[in-house]
Structure 1
Amino acid sequence: MDMPNLNTTHQFDVIIVGSGGAGLSLALSLPQHFNIAVLAKSTLTEASTFYAQGGVAAVLDETDSIEQHIDDTMIAGAHLCEMDAVKQTVEGGKPSVNFLLKQGVQFTLDEQEQLHLTREGGHSQRRIIHAADATGRAISTTLVQRAQEQQNITIFENYIAIDLITSQKLGLNESNRALGLYALDEKTQKVHSFLAPFTALACGGAMKAYLYTSNPDIATGDGMAMAYRAGCRVANMEFNQFHPTCLYHPQARSFLITEAMRGEGAYLRLPDGERFMLRFDERAELAPRDIVARAIDYEIKRLGIRHVWLDITHKPAEFVKEHFPTLYARLLELGIDITTDMIPVVPAAHYTCGGVMVDEHSQTDIAGLYAIGETSYTGLHGANRMASNSLLECFVYGMAAAKHIEAHYTADYSSPEVPAWDDSQVTNPDEDVVILQNWDELRATMWNYVGIVRTTKRLERALHRIEMLKREITEYYQDYQVSKNLIELRNLVLVSEMIVRCAMQRKESRGLHFTLDYPELAPELRKTVLIPPNFQVETPLVNE
């Protein structure tokens, strides 16, 4: 169902911000008598899920086990993963696959007409189900189609959430609860109020904070920033995954080259042809992503080169075309035949392992507010996300949120009076160059100072610049009418500050956080938690 009317106040049972795997698995798991709004910041498929090439990790083979998947996840996460979350996610593998098959997702089958399983970095077994080399596209288009068919789901495309509406914000004399949110309709430039007893943030990660990223343009940390401003704690924001292999091509937008290529035997090489990964880890190209990304970064800096090479030319051409049809066609358009040519690759910011703290039901510190997928911190990923665990997390926690919402729904809920968005005190911006300048400066600062290898000095420099930018952006936000670019920049500068503050608190090198000043592991295992100034202690503590 598409957006029905021009009214700017909308009442629903559940509001979901985000139309990727996390948001739509929640929407499709809720009973059909629920009145649901799905807000998509861009088009419905413009979500990180759509671009995921790998697959969904699940224990399906008799040679595999839940225990092995748990162990692999804990090792990849440098033992910072929270066991309850890992167990819940891994045990949710089979139900998640069944949910996706029921929705009609067409996964690749083997000769026996069983789900074909591939292997990726960090996994000790073949356990990744996939749709050729474009799994995300298959999942995304199928779930979008199902959501559009449902009469109880109303879709609002090109709506950008601005801020949450909470009882605390309205000054109501009760414990803090989410009442809905304000969102900008990009087409009309009007701000709408969306009201509901349940709101879910499923709006992806924040890797647009970095100059080079594999993420779509929407990944500006909106959910994390909105939740923190509303009074939710965030955790482990220092752990940002850099995908080791993104295409390096001056004329083309960077996109990731799937991990499955290395899983199927591709080598990483230097310009002289040396296979260098063996110098860094005995697992070579199949080492976890943080090790591979750091090795590539080290060699690029050591040799003063722009990229390294990914080489699968030693495999039969038919094998390559069959396993990687999308990639083969896409690179051929750029003049690279992967059956005979090596691929130029660099690391790029790929995934936010930290996020809004949630419990096993995806519930945040604020009653009625949920966070799912990359927006959330469940405890699953620890210090490094293992390949293809993130799509799985979206479905496991999307379904968990649906159960919790259904159990706590009351038909007699009535929303308190919520004032309409007031922009009477602001003017039209005289020039957008300020936003553009701050956007570029912020992303360059993050890339140069808060990247794959960090130092205390670099982090201090980054924080100094980010605080300055934040002041400018806050003033601009207070004086001028909101626009998509301004909303995103306001969120991104806050999330960048969170990343730096978390990184400064971690006095060790673990997983994705590597600092030259503290190269060793600290003896104690702890998560880094940021507490917002308006955090209410009496809210039920989650994830402790």
Structure 2
Amino acid sequence: MPEKYIMNFDTRELPQVDDEYLILGSGIAGLYTALAASAAGGSVTVITKLDMMDTGTEKAQGGIAAALGDSDSPALHREDTLVAGAGLCDTEAVAALVSEGPDRVRELIEMGAHFDSDSHGLCLTREGAHSKRRILHASGDATGAEIQRVLTLQVRANDKIRVLENHYVADLLVNENTCYGVLALDRTSGTFKVFRARVVILATGGLGRLYEHNTNPEVATGDGIGIAFRAGAEVMDMEFIQFHPTVLYLPGAPRFLISEAVRGEGAYLRNSQGHRFMPDYHDLAELAPRDVVVRAILKEMAATGLNQVYLDVTHLDPEVIRARFPNITRTCAQYNLDITVDRIPISPAAHYMMGGVKTNLVGETSIRGLYACGECSCPGVHGANRLASNSLLDGLVFGGRIVNETRKFLKDYRPRRLEFGCDWLLKQDKIDYAALRRELQVLMGQKVGPVRSNRGLMEALEFFDYWSRLQRHSEETAEGMEVKNMLQVGELVAEAALARRESRGGHYRVDYPECNQRWQKHIIFRR
């Protein structure tokens, strides 16, 4: 049984801050929710563990999906999402996403977001598993950066929203299954503070940094899921990790995402012999769902004995490619790779979490007063495999729904002053957390990666069992707390992957390679 808290503390001895909304995270989900909450009349504090711009949103390239084209509709977007989700999408959640999504995107445009357009209107592109061109993009392949820019400007100009950077949330403060706030470390001063709120919203992003090879920013370590599970919240679909098929693979270069939109514009995948192999695996070829593409790449890599295959755009118009993907073109050029002439060496890497803290259709978790939206949450909208470019939309739609739900009872809110504390944890042993983090990341890639087996998952769980002893010790450093959360969340992923004895969406078991109707159900964990 894991401990409820990560450290010893007494709220009576700490500075206290009160607010109506407390939002953890400063990506699209956190900032849009903050703006919606302030517009509804609430006072808002946003806590983010590093700089406000250090988010997964800022890194997003491809775009944001919404049925805005003349030949498109929410019904078609819904169908594509359900097909990609491999039988595990919540149909009501998907209906909310696709029907409310266009209005949320229009709000971004009204705020000043500049999406690429021409004389005919918005430029819409197509990505894997989409039946229509419905992906809006900005500056070619810098959509997330544009959205982050606009939301950040809006939040900084709003005097009803306070943003506290460099604050690391240690734990949720929960009593009788009700959340009253959080305990957080001000990393600048080194002091702990208590933040109380009527509504606490997790918007902490993903967990890609659990893996050695990933596309995520440094902050994506699964903290929101870790603290929520420790406090008693339900988590769901933890086995479903999406590995992006096309991530730059060059010696000496960081793992850099090559957007799905490149394949949407006509790029081919070739093996080391130059063979275009995706038509051998799926009718949609390069536009097949991501899990299909990932496994095809892994099979080609195994067959050729190499660690990469190639993404090829050399048959496309060079000027069109440079204009459409300026960021990718520049980045590859830094490593002497001209993508209009050279094939791009790529391999899969951890990218997106389909599971997370279980919520209902208005973002409420199993703990009263605690809500979640964005990648750390799981309303069931992505099922077993996220449809490309639905992630940014997810944060907008369900963040807005949280505010619509909670604004109803804020006027009647009277804060209840409960105190919290813990004094039973042992003094922490001296741990080399940097080395432990590296060991965890390698293990996750090898044992809990895109191809899994009973033996590998059992070996992973043995690792987590060994390090579970850390839960009995108090930890007051951000580095230590982060690694402890990573261990907790990694164990949840491995445990769920071991339990699911089939292959579906982003979860693939070599010992259970088929999709099984008996497993068309969710795995939910609760402490």
How does the TM-score come out when normalised to structure 1? 0.91
Which SS does the other structure have where 1:468 is aligned?
helix
Q: Which residue is 2:99 aligned to?
A: 91
- Is 1:517 the counterpart of 2:511? The answer is yes
- Kindly state the Cα deviation for residue 84 of structure 1 after the two structures are TM-superposed: 0.5
Q: Which residue is 1:116 aligned to?
A: 123
Which SS does the other structure have where 2:348 is aligned?
strand
Structure 2: how far apart are the matches of 1:133 and 1:283? 23
Structure 1: how far apart are the matches of 2:236 and 2:267? 35
Which SS does the other structure have where 2:517 is aligned?
coil
Q: Which residue is 1:71 aligned to?
A: 79
Structure 1: how far apart are the matches of 2:68 and 2:514? 37
Q: Percent identity?
A: 39
Which SS does the other structure have where 1:92 is aligned?
helix
Letter in 1 for 2:471: T
Which SS does the other structure have where 1:268 is aligned?
strand
1:12 to 19, 34, 47: 19
Q: Which residue is 2:192 aligned to?
A: 191
Q: Which residue is 1:454 aligned to?
A: 452
Which SS does the other structure have where 2:29 is aligned?
helix
2:493 to 480, 485, 499: 499
| Comparing 118-127 and 445-454, the one that deviates more | 445-454
Which SS does the other structure have where 1:410 is aligned?
helix
Q: Which residue is 2:402 aligned to?
A: 401
1:470 to 452, 456, 468: 468
Which SS does the other structure have where 2:118 is aligned?
coil
Q: Which residue is 1:536 aligned to?
A: none
Is residue 178–residue 367 contact of structure 2 (8 Å, CA) maintained in 1?
A: yes
- Is 1:488 the counterpart of 2:482? The answer is yes
| Comparing 69-78 and 408-417, the one that deviates more | 408-417
Cα deviation code 1:337-371 (max 9, x no counterpart): 11111111110000010011101110101111101
* Residues 474 and 422 of structure 1: CA distance in aligned 2, closer, same or farther (over 3 Å): closer
Q: Which residue is 1:385 aligned to?
A: 386
* Residues 347 and 72 of structure 1: CA distance in aligned 2, closer, same or farther (over 3 Å): same
Q: Which residue is 1:103 aligned to?
A: 111
Structural mapping, 1:236-315, within 5 Å: 236-315=237-316
Number of residue equivalences? 512
Letter in 2 for 1:458: G
- Kindly state the Cα deviation for residue 95 of structure 1 after the two structures are TM-superposed: 1.1
Q: Which residue is 2:11 aligned to?
A: none
Q: Which residue is 1:362 aligned to?
A: 363
- Kindly state the Cα deviation for residue 285 of structure 1 after the two structures are TM-superposed: 0.8
Structure 2: how far apart are the matches of 1:520 and 1:23? 38
- Is 1:126 the counterpart of 2:133? The answer is yes
Moved over 6 A (4+): 421-427
Is residue 505–residue 528 contact of structure 1 (8 Å, CA) maintained in 2?
A: no
Q: Which residue is 2:436 aligned to?
A: 438
- Kindly state the Cα deviation for residue 422 of structure 1 after the two structures are TM-superposed: 7.0
Is residue 85–residue 360 contact of structure 1 (8 Å, CA) maintained in 2?
A: yes
Structure 2: how far apart are the matches of 1:214 and 1:20? 16
Which SS does the other structure have where 1:398 is aligned?
helix
- Kindly state the Cα deviation for residue 284 of structure 1 after the two structures are TM-superposed: 1.1
Is residue 202–residue 372 contact of structure 2 (8 Å, CA) maintained in 1?
A: yes
Letter in 1 for 2:355: G
Which SS does the other structure have where 2:122 is aligned?
coil
- Kindly state the Cα deviation for residue 454 of structure 1 after the two structures are TM-superposed: 1.0
Structure 2: how far apart are the matches of 1:24 and 1:154? 11
- Kindly state the Cα deviation for residue 334 of structure 1 after the two structures are TM-superposed: 1.8
- Is 1:531 the counterpart of 2:525? The answer is yes
- Kindly state the Cα deviation for residue 157 of structure 1 after the two structures are TM-superposed: 0.5
Letter in 1 for 2:170: I
Structure 2: how far apart are the matches of 1:431 and 1:299? 44
Is residue 498–residue 530 contact of structure 1 (8 Å, CA) maintained in 2?
A: no
Cα deviation code 1:210-248 (max 9, x no counterpart): 111100111111111111111111111111000001111
Is residue 38–residue 160 contact of structure 2 (8 Å, CA) maintained in 1?
A: no
- Name stretches of at least 5 consecutive residues in structure 1 with no aligned partner: 1-6, 169-175, 534-544
Is residue 88–residue 522 contact of structure 2 (8 Å, CA) maintained in 1?
A: no
